[in-house]
Amino acid sequence: MTSSNFRSWPLYLILTVISMPLVIMYVYLFVDTVTDTTAGSLIPDRFTLHHWRFLWEEPETGRVSIWTVTLNTFIFATCTTLINVSASVTAGYALSRLNLPFKRFFLGGILTLHAFPTITLIISIFLILQMIGLYNTLIGVILVKAALELPLGIWIMKGFFDNVPWEIEMAGLQDGASRFTVWWKLVLPQVQPGVAALSVFVFLSAWSEFILPQVLAPSGSAQVLSTYLSNLIFDDMKPDFNMFKSVGVFYALPVIIIYLIFNKQLMNIYGGGTKG
């Protein structure tokens, strides 16, 4: 074991050297949000929380509170995740277990749909939301984002269900359990890593989404943090870059927290099961 660790230290050293500039950059970014620095200098002069005043001060006229925007972003990301994971788990199971006609054609089709960039579909999506009355609403953006993420989610979950042995379900059915009970209590626990990974990926994708909220919900009532951050710069004649950096750090904090919480699950993604 000691010899193995000794042989791997050059790799750790190389990764450390490569990562160090990024780590230093992010540390300096945070330090810059709580300090004031003289123009042309890299050394901070004094500590201050003035750049974080958006957390407790009343918003300026025409602006939305940062807490309202954060709530909108959380609702957007959470609802998108719940819709996507629920549909992906059920559809993935059906495609894995049922001998459906044209199944290969359907799987190829949904993967092809995911290959289209969002920007190429934005005009048609815009027109559809206007016709059904969901333009400029958070619900409309949630449905569109969930639909665009659904093809990849179905494909991923089908792969996980394919690795769960049929014997697990057969044993449950022979013991008198219903198909739903077998799916819920025997099959679904076997694919928990896939569900966890898909949930995190979809949540982070929705949390960082910018194009869809900017185009499909431009009003302040449906604003999310990505569009709030953009408006902070482009709506002002004299933008406050220190405040812009502070809002950016505030925006990134949930992503960092989620990674720290789910790091173990994301690093141990596997599919399959054992006969129980």
The pLDDT tens digits of the residues spanning 94-129 come to 888 888 787 788 777 777 777 777 788 888 899 999
Question: Cα–Cα distance between 232 and 250 in angstroms, integer?
Answer: 14
pLDDT, mean of residues 172-193: 86
Question: Cα–Cα distance between 272 and 160 in angstroms, integer?
Answer: 6
Question: Cα–Cα distance between 157 and 85 in angstroms, integer?
Answer: 9
Residue 154: other Cβ atoms inside 10 A: 26
Instruction: Please report, in angstroms and rounded to a whole number, the separation of the first and last CA atoms in the chain.
Output: 34
CA distances (Å), origin 225, targets 141, 160, 255: 14, 33, 13
Q: Judge whether residue 6 has pLDDT over 70.
A: no
Tens of pLDDT, residue by residue over 14-51, are 888 898 988 888 888 888 888 887 777 777 788 888 88
Q: Judge whether residue 67 has pLDDT over 50.
A: yes
Tens of pLDDT, residue by residue over 144-160, are 999 998 988 898 898 88
Task: Quote the tokens at residue 85.
Answer: 């994971």
Residue 81: other Cβ atoms inside 10 A: 25
pLDDT, mean of residues 51-71: 83
For the entire predicted model, the pTM comes to: 0.84
Average pLDDT, the chain: 83
| pLDDT for the residue numbered 5 | 53
Tens of pLDDT, residue by residue over 185-205, are 888 888 888 898 889 889 999
| pLDDT for the residue numbered 250 | 92
pLDDT band at 265 (very low <50, low <70, confident <90, very high): low
**Any idea what DSSP says for residue 58?**
P
pLDDT, mean of residues 68-72: 92
Sign of CA dihedral 83, 89, 91, 92: positive
Question: DSSP string covering 61-121, please?
Answer: TTPPPHHHHHHHHHHHHHHHHHHHHHHHHHHHHHHHHS--TTHHHHHHHHHHHHHS-HHHH
